[in-house]
Amino acid sequence: MTRPLIGAGIDRVDGRKKVTGGATYAAEVQVANVTYAVLVGSTIGRGKIKAIDTAAAQAAPGVLAVVTHDNAPKFPGVTGNHEANDRVVQGLQDSVVLYHDQPIAVVVADTLERAQHAAAMVTAEYDAAPPVGDVEADLGSAYIFQTPRGPAEIVRGDLAAGLAAAKTRVEATYRTPVETHNPMEPHATIAVWQGDDHLTLYDSTQAIFNVRRRLSTMLGLQPENVRVINHFVGGGFGCKGAPWSHVLLAAIAAKATGRAVKLAITRPQMQSLVGHRPKTVQKLELGVDGAGKLTAIRHDCVSETSRFDVFVESCTAVTRMLYACPNVTTVQRLVRLDVPTPTFTRAPGESVGTFALESALDELAYAAGLDPLELRRKNHADHDPETGKPWSSKSLLECYQRAADAIGWSKRPAQIKTLREGRWQIGYGVGTTTRGSRQLPASARARMLPDGRAIVQAGTQDIGTGTYTVMTQIAGDALALPIGDIRFELGDTALPEAPPSVGSFTAASTGPAVHNACVALRTKLIEQAVGDPASPLHGLAPDAIDAEDGALIAKADRKRRDPYAAIVARSRQPEISVELHTEAHKDRDQYSVAGFGVVFAKVRVDEDLGEVRVDRLVGAFAAGRILNPKTASSNLLGGMVWGIGQALHEHSVRDPRTARMVTRDLADYHVPVHADVPELEVILVHEDDPHVNEIGVKGLGELSTPGVAAAIANAVYHATGVRIRDLPITPDKLIQG
Amino acid sequence: MKPFTYVRPADARAAIAAAGDAGASFLAGGTTLVDLMRLEVMTPSAIVDLSPLPLTQIERAGDGLRIGAMTRNSAVATHPLVVERYPLLAQALLTGASQQVRNMATVGGNLLQRTRCPYFRDLAVACNKRAPGSGCSAIDGYTRSHAILGTSESCIATHPSDMCVALAALDAVVHTRGAGRERAIPFGEFHTLPGDHPEVESALEPGELVTHIELPASPFAAHAHYVKVRDRAAFAFALAAAAVGLDVADGKIRAARIALGGVATKPWRAAEAEQALVGQAPGRASFERAAAAAIVDPKPRRDNAFKIALAKRTIVRALELAWGAA
Amino acid sequence: MSSVETSIAVGMVAPSFVLHDDAGRPLSSSETRGRPWVLAFARGWTPGHDAEAIRAQLRGLGAILFVVSDAGVWSFRPDDDVELTAGPSRRLRREIAALAARWGVDTRDDGVFVIDDRGAVRFAHTPSGELSATLAGALAAAGRESLGLPPRPGITRRDWAVMSLVAGFGVVLLHGCKAPGADRPAAPGPVAVKAGSEVDVVLRINGSDRRLRIDPRTSLLDALREHLALTGARKGCDHGQCGACTVLRDGHAVNACLTLAVAAEGAEITTIEGLARGEQLHPVQAQFIAHDAFQCGYCTSGQILSAVALLREGRAKTNDEVRQQMSGNLCRCGAYPNIVAAIQAARKEV
């Protein structure tokens, strides 16, 4: 047996299911007697429904119900129920239209084909008002967002004095477009009522307990009467963090028909109904003195939100803590638009905020005649400049060194526009990344069965990050069991509550909970053994006992062993189990906790045609202890691919007149394909961090995206001398630049 | 999807008879038809499945080549006769869509591929091509993907095919069979400009079946290239594309073929540019002159003016690669 | 062949059982804590792609299914996607024989028993002849239509649910027992199906002929997912823009979402469920695991099938060629570098 399991690059425990088709996603749960629901969307961006004609749909073959605001059951909990980290949903409660594609009806039929066609027969008349769909069309209305702790305008030091003291200054405006998550699995919900007061939801979500809380509140049910199940999630990236309208509508449709209802939203609907990263307009002003020290940073971000809900793309947070600069002012402003509410998108805030900050830093380096990497090193923040606290651990300088060596940074010419291969202009760029790491409370249950195998359970989710696998590893080490003797279960609100799979904090939150529950189970087994006259370990002190290969053993005499199976069998109980709640680690308050890293890019740009190809990306990342280098590397690689998409491809476009989404599918909303992605290099920089939690883990799922877009944009500048400040970097911009 | 009558005919005659009804559509690879039927952009009352018909030959026809209308794109692109004698066609096909779509899409179907204009695909907005007379949402809308050549006040939708750009350059002939007759349609006459009737896209009559295409002997095989500029490195429609062929003897261009994709409402033959090359020595200077002559009277809109420059540069690049100078 | 003993009959309290492995560890027991359960003796049965279809019926009831075959014992729990599998061992074989005898079913025979939530036997069926024929009879008795209707007066919800369960189980067992078709599927003859009517189709999927009555609008993808419980083909966009639905049609990768099921008659369709040979993974599947060539897994079936076709066709060889040909399979988790590595590693094995 390989010990320890933690740190070993073992294959995913759910790998076999995923390569054989055996992994079952929400819409694939086979429920007998299921019916199909299809949403009808609004065709105006703002106004009211005057009349909605459902007669043809009602009469169509196989149609069981057409639910609209005229006949939907009313639930007082649906409206006016905005909670933090949640989204206001539209549940057919009134005739108001807030954005294009807003659900205005749900059609339920006995087959999918019939439901789809009937949905196309529903028509509506509206009183329409002109919508606004672009931040820049209404910049004048931008207002400073009020956080619960005050306005989102934060001043450190004296910006004006800092700028005055600068030898070199740059000022520039950066724009990032609306991005849409587009996980491969569209959101889907199967709703099954058991009587009037019990509801089961098979739902593609990153947060089963959020769904339970929200749905039980909206529907007026006891939370424990709503069960949410999902064993596999086909990607989330933030857009499955909160239940959107369709989850409620599936439940309503199931209620209306008295049947189990499956509602899988379509790819076009995914462009409007399940959140997006808002467009941002970011103004940066930076100053540096003659010694290469930053004297001032001003970062002003305007982003969009909906008329009825608030979401802030917190771009400026990274600016407050990434560099040691005494004078920093950041402002977050919002513009309300007639659009659906934006939401968290992989590395929310950091991702696009870092593009602006790290591009501006590059501009400053060239303006001041400094090496871009050297400028970053000189301004390394040895402690958190915002809070003054020490970092629990930080290995950014080592990341710089190792990644710079790997890509050959020092060998590149400092001059721009000097490298070429035929028609290709070649360039190098760098971008730093960071992301704060949180730990949330979590619970877990560990059960030892009479056969000596363990079931470990927590109501977390595996959205592809490897939760099944790393939790099995954590449990295996704590219980001294091989991987094959542990089954880790998740994705069910019948299990102990664990936090959402968002914010890169699953490993750092549910991981410690699983560890602690398993340690407690082991302690319980030891107590059972030493107190049992029939045990070979009877009478020993608990700390004289070790665990090894499915058994407890006496440290002093390793031949004295008591297998778990025997301990459970003698207990005359069906199993021995422990459920435990774990709070955030006690040390955390004294430290700032964040992962850090850097990405270097080598790109080539076709000088005539403006096509950009990423030749190489090298990233070095430090995020505490790495539970499984195989799954961790995959996660980091994936984040870098997201960075490529953000840099070169992704932009959702609304019609300039109507605010209706124009990029309605995956042919128009480009995400990177195989051909866009070269071999990528991930360097894992090891950290021992005793302060973050029991298992020394920080989050890493979102660490590798910020920095990439800037590194690529900076490399494009190095190659061509053209500075693109408006993502994505497409051929049209380069040939016109 | 609207209900439809499904017909799997015994032979071509039965297929043509079944497709004679108003509202019927042929089903070839399905990559356009099923896609658009699911959106209810296309709502045929009947579909006539052509898969049983023996129209999958790739064979010599005199000095040229005959390709059956039901031959899959991937089969054409990898056929030795095509690779050797019409590399332009093979290149164009392989830049199109995905391997899955190329395995499904047919030559006949690709001739009739429909535009990717996002407004055409969205039932909630006006579109003259989808609903004649309803108006064009694109003209004053988001036009980054739209055409700058061959447009009208009714429609600026780009023709999306890569294959057709190569076929335009290769002077392909489309052979059809209708209720009463067989026809051979020169490629340049096969697709129609939108004008006032963007809903009409080809010279085909209702029920008329494309049976095969013929490619004449080509003197351009040695110097031919297809260049496609797109937003990602694969599986994307062209921002601009150029299919070119040069016939060079004694250091002078005897004949040239230039066709454009991604910038026009139909596969666009740039005859002026071809003329500009005849008698010239191949090289960057003559190529740039030809490119300048290729874009005649463009009509850019809000977001697509870049295509004027991009199309010219794409022609130059394609000519350079064809000549072997890039 | 023994006949059903009178000791187990409908209405009686079911005897409990516990099965053990050679080490004496309990594998499976009839302790179901007040849930209904089904005990099925099915010689030669192994769990395949039909496992999900079985669970569909179990979920409707909250029931547990035990399948006993000479290959082992499986227990299926409705919301538990990890089935406990036990290989045959000497002790287990002895216990299975005893269990079969206790239930009046010789191991060379087959039988299905449904036990309700109070522990009473509600349905007992042991075939006296060919399994499929008699299960078909059971299926007919339960009635295809009853599956689609709410409980009727005079029939309790539980009765109806039990009938559904038996019917559903019968369907699955029938499929599981059907011999794979030997030859290429016959070219389908001419048909004309009026708009609004359903059509009977025979699809050759993973070597078996599957008969369906479907709406002609049904895509091959929805036929697989919604009618045959073959959900390994995923729906990512339904418009041929993502590749998650990729299946092999006569060995070539195609988008199942753009294929009408009715137009797929006469073709050999291979889905992800048909790729492994029993427990033996296809080399591409094995290399995907070894190279961690997936994260969420949703695009994986399509990636693997495209890769299998790519390697079989043999044209794309360099990494860049592989990337071009694989570009119709989007992966939003960004596993692309690992996918390319897995394909190149599998090349040596296929």
Quote the minimal CA–CA distance from C324 to chain A in Å: 5
Among residues A490, A485, A477, A375, the alpha carbon closest in space to that of A430 is found at: A375
So what's the pLDDT on residue A587? 87
So what's the pLDDT on residue C104? 75
So what's the pLDDT on residue C101? 78
How many other CB atoms are found less than 10 A from the CB of residue B249?
9
Task: Please check the confidence at residue C106 and state whether its pLDDT lies above 80.
Answer: no
So what's the pLDDT on residue C53? 58
So what's the pLDDT on residue C234? 98
So what's the pLDDT on residue C131? 40
- Are the C-beta atoms of residues A67 and A213 closer than 8 Å to each other? no
* pLDDT, average across residues B34-56: 97
Helices (H), A171-260: 208-219, 245-257
Task: Please check the confidence at residue C175 and state whether its pLDDT lies above 50.
Answer: no
How many other CB atoms are found less than 10 A from the CB of residue A640?
28
CB-based contact, A546 to chain C, within 8 Å: no
Q: Above 0.90 for ipTM, yes or no?
A: yes
Alpha-carbon gap, residue C164 to C150, rounded angstroms: 11
So what's the pLDDT on residue A311? 94
List the chains bordering chain B where 3 or more Cβ pairs fall under 8 Å.
A, C
Lowest mean pLDDT among A157-171, B242-256, C92-106: C92-106
Quote the minimal CA–CA distance from C183 to chain A in Å: 25
Among residues B246, B253, B252, B267, the alpha carbon closest in space to that of B324 is found at: B246
CB-based contact, A11 to chain C, within 8 Å: yes
Closest chain A residue to the Cα of B235, Cα to Cα: A673
Strands B252-261 and C199-205: unpaired
Closest chain B residue to the Cα of C244, Cα to Cα: B100
Across the interface, do B10 and C188 touch by the CB < 8 Å criterion? no
B195: left (phi over 0), alpha (psi -120 to 50) or beta: left
Which residue bears the tokens 């296809």?
C282
So what's the pLDDT on residue A336? 97
- Are the C-beta atoms of residues A593 and A436 closer than 8 Å to each other? yes
CB-based contact, A195 to chain C, within 8 Å: no
| CA separation, residue A671 to residues A654, A676, C13 (Å) | 17, 9, 60
Alpha-carbon gap, residue A635 to C292, rounded angstroms: 10
So what's the pLDDT on residue C16? 78
Alpha-carbon gap, residue B255 to B276, rounded angstroms: 10
Average pLDDT, chain A: 96
Q: How far from chain centre, in Å, is Cα A490? A: 18
Length of chain B: 326
* pLDDT, average across residues A93-104: 97
* pLDDT, average across residues A677-690: 97
Instruction: List, as ranges, residues 672-711 from A with C-beta within 8 Å of B.
Output: 672-676
The arrangement of strands across the sheet holding A63-68 comes to A63-68, A103-109, A35-41, A261-264, A188-194, A198-203, A226-229
* pLDDT, average across residues C315-337: 98
So what's the pLDDT on residue C160? 56
Q: Smallest Cβ distance to A674: which of C147, C292, C327? A: C327
Cβ burial, residue C179 (10 Å; 0-12/13-18/19+): exposed
Across the interface, do B30 and C195 touch by the CB < 8 Å criterion? no
User: Strand pairing partners for A170?
Assistant: A286
pLDDT tens sequence across B126-160 = 999 999 999 999 999 999 999 999 999 999 999 99
Task: Please check the confidence at residue C22 and state whether its pLDDT lies above 80.
Answer: no
Task: Please check the confidence at residue C254 and state whether its pLDDT lies above 50.
Answer: yes
- Are the C-beta atoms of residues C91 and C22 closer than 8 Å to each other? yes
Across the interface, do C326 and B45 touch by the CB < 8 Å criterion? no
Across the interface, do B309 and A736 touch by the CB < 8 Å criterion? yes
Lowest mean pLDDT among A327-331, B214-218, C50-54: C50-54
So what's the pLDDT on residue C14? 80
Concatenating the DSSP letter of every residue in B40-108 gives: TSS--SEEEE-TTS----EEEETTEEEEETT-BHHHHHH-HHHHHH-HHHHHHHHHSS-HHHHHH-BHH
Amino acid at C312: R
**Count of A-C CB contacts under 8 Å:** 225
CB-based contact, A640 to chain C, within 8 Å: yes
> How much of chain B exceeds pLDDT 90, in percent?
98
So what's the pLDDT on residue A699? 92
Alpha-carbon gap, residue A321 to A383, rounded angstroms: 9
Determine which helix (DSSP H) or strand (DSSP E) holds A614, and give its type and residue range: strand A612-622
> How much of chain A exceeds pLDDT 70, in percent?
98
Task: Please check the confidence at residue C1 and state whether its pLDDT lies above 60.
Answer: no
Strands A424-436 and A594-606: antiparallel
More confident: C94 or C262: C262
Helices (H), C199-261: 220-222
The pTM (predicted TM-score) of the whole model is 0.90
CB-based contact, A421 to chain B, within 8 Å: no
* pLDDT, average across residues A344-372: 98
Q: C interface toward B at CB cutoff 8 Å?
A: 187-196, 199, 215-217, 219, 238-240, 243, 246, 249, 252-255, 257-260, 262-263, 306, 309-310, 315, 323-329
pLDDT tens sequence across A420-461 = 999 999 999 999 999 999 999 999 999 999 999 999 999 999
So what's the pLDDT on residue C158? 54
Among residues A278, A334, A281, the alpha carbon closest in space to that of A652 is found at: A278
The pLDDT confidence band at residue C164, using thresholds 50, 70 and 90, is: low
Task: Please check the confidence at residue B275 and state whether its pLDDT lies above 70.
Answer: yes
Question: Considering all CA atoms of chain A, what is the largest pairwise distance in Å, rounded to the nearest integer?
Answer: 85
Task: Please check the confidence at residue A493 and state whether its pLDDT lies above 90.
Answer: yes
Residue A694 is a catalytic residue = no
Alpha-carbon gap, residue C255 to A199, rounded angstroms: 35
Which pair of tokens denotes residue A106? 């749900």
Strands A123-128 and A47-53: antiparallel
* pLDDT, average across residues C183-204: 91
> How much of chain A exceeds pLDDT 90, in percent?
95
